Structure 1
């Protein structure tokens, strides 16, 4: 089947993989077929006039018409797009369909001889820089990346801790803080929780980036910019660092929970939100919700974890009873076979000796909260 591209119409493609690979020349088609075989996460598209007869068997999609009309569809559906087309042509074709660096896919260009692989668009957030490295390695080509933080081997602020699942509170200061980093200005980092081995290079941390043991000490140092890694909600006095700073939320908070059968997701979520606010903890730092295996099919719990993208971990009564329980309950044991649910579940998963909240009963829900001590 040949995709007939028409102006203003959505191209009827079939997506099977996260990356699209596109070629429009004879040599580009040969190169694309080779890369498609090596790099299995791609869907390959090329012009029908280069049809070889084995496209259906190999899952290759043919198109007729201008490749420019194919790109809006690819932009909507793929994580990244690899094009064996000249850089200038690609820039002109994608310019009208660009929206935002937080949503645009990564775009990578390969020259017709397969000698250079160029990161063109969404190098960090869209993953084009990493995709460039992977494609260049597959083709034994030269990766060309111009992002300042990559070239200088310093912190890519928009990706700081992303491989651990860290998220920022607000993107408002991403650009000015990134500028401070690459311009070698005084940048303070304060880390209160989260994985400590976030430095990705085999070279030392640049001298302009200084780690401070507390927010107070960072404020006193008067840096040009700040990166704060914490699960805590900052106080008004601490927020002075955010004049040119960003708060990153590591996935370090664990919730333990027990509930009566049939408890609604709305009640469960309300208890979680109110509890975290009382503890001055950001809900963005929650990593997992843990409970007893008797609750593995509890609809309310399943709805909450799916909505928030949290891990859902269940322990057997025997596993829970092996943990230290500060507030054991004979009543809970009578119904579940465990002397506690929320408290030991948090202790087992987090490995924390001290909990932010040992146990609280609220309506149909019992909740405990701990922070993973990295």
Structure 2
């Protein structure tokens, strides 16, 4: 998850630094220009801004999560023009400067704000403020499960229908298509949450009278018309952006992909698509790794990667830029492969010896 932290005062900057230490993935701290030289040096990247409104507008589409150390009212006014869809909006959190409370403000389930709030509050000793009805009542909502398992909810309108039913004490039945890749993984994950799923093969079972249900199935198997009281959860594609030194053998690339997937609790077989720069389109080890995994690999020109680096403010390596002409291959290529819909970074640019991998869940 790529995270941006914002603060407006010296005290807020100190808390932002503590929060940044607890965030997994890429972190950038944003501070007003007037604090330049007033803040204790930090190991995290710092961006100084003149106007909060300008940097917040840019950050809303650039990062997966925004963590703001300031008054909630300020944050609401800043993000209001850009809020569009709970399936795509970033997670937004607010902390008071004293670090007493952390508020999950936007995208609690799908965007992961509730879970991030709990984690960051635990790290700095703050009280988490979460207002999502299912969380307050201790219930596990279907869209929360979707977020944890990287599943896309379809249709969005069914989320409210099922969550309301859950709050009213109705049971929700879970179904999994048994021929779905990694069906056993989804079944095990649900079982760990004390949710017993029913396996089915072939056509999606008809909805029973007054039945509320969640069906985990492939996107190609979704019915043309949505059934009543039914939420479909479709696996998101996992894209692996890969950069490597010249002449790296297949075995080292596969090992890097295996370690990277392990860091997010997945296997290399979960990867749906590989991406890299056209500079590497004849790299034998990379091509062999894609063939072994049985996955397509897409190569993007450096100018396209450079545009993505600029759009998302990706951190660049001077060495890589001098070597191949662009300073970030793995993250930029993964974002290019995701297309207009974009994606949420599951694992930021990570070096495994002479291979660099970034993992991204397509939105």
Q: TM-score, normalised by structure 1?
A: 0.54
Q: 1:229 aligns with which of 213, 216, 238?
A: 216
Whether the 8 Å contact between 1:39 and 1:138 is mirrored in structure 2 is no
| 2:296 is the alignment partner of 1:305 | yes
Secondary structure at the residue paired with 1:160? Answer: helix
Larger RCO: 1 or 2 (CA < 8 Å, sep 6+): 2
Structure 1 contact 118–132 (Cα < 8 Å) conserved: yes
Q: Cα RMSD between the aligned structures?
A: 4.0
Aligned equivalent of 2:136, options 146, 151, 163: 151
| 1:243 positional shift | 1.7
CA shift at 1:98, angstroms? 1.3
**Residues 1:21 and 2:2 are matched in the alignment:** no
Asked if residue 30 in structure 1 is aligned to residue 20 in structure 2, the reply is: no
The residue number in structure 2 matching 1:46 is 31
In the alignment of these two chains, the number of paired residues is 247
- Give the gaps of 5 or more residues in structure 2: 237-268, 273-283, 299-363
Q: Post-superposition shift, 1:241?
A: 7.9
- Summarize deviations over 1:110-158 as a string: whole Å, max 9, x none: 0111010100001111111111112101101111111122223333222
Cα deviation, residue 53, structure 1: 6.4
Give the direction of change, closer, same or farther, for the CA distance of 1:100–1:115 in structure 2 (3 Å limit): same
Contact 1:55 1:61 in 2 (8 A): no
Q: Aligned-pair distance for 1:213?
A: 6.5
Match for residue 176 of structure 2? 191
Alpha-carbon distance between aligned partners in 2 of 1:288 and 1:73, rounded to the nearest angstrom: 30
Distance 1:75 1:235 in 2: 31
2:158 aligned with 1:173, yes or no? Answer: yes
The 10-residue stretch of structure 1 (131-140 or 214-223) with the greater mean CA deviation from structure 2: 214-223
Cα separation, 2, equivalents of 1:200 and 1:45:
41
1:110: which partner in 2? 95
Separation in 1, partners of 2:134, 2:192: 11
Please identify the structure whose Cα radius of gyration is greater.
1
1:140 matches 2:131: no
Gapped runs of 5+ residues in structure 1?
1-16, 252-285, 308-374
**How many Å separate the matches in 2 of 1:56 and 1:230?**
45
Q: Deviations over 1:37-76 (max 9, x none)?
A: 4446421111232332665875322223x31222101102
Q: Deviations over 1:319-350 (max 9, x none)?
A: xxxxxxxxxxxxxxxxxxxxxxxxxxxxxxxx
Match in the other structure for 2:45: 59
Aligned 1:1-374 pairs, distance under 5 A: 18-39=2-23, 41-50=26-35, 51-52=37-38, 55=41, 59-64=45-50, 66-193=51-178, 194=183, 195-199=186-190, 219=206, 221-231=208-218, 242-249=227-234, 287=270, 297=287, 305-306=296-297
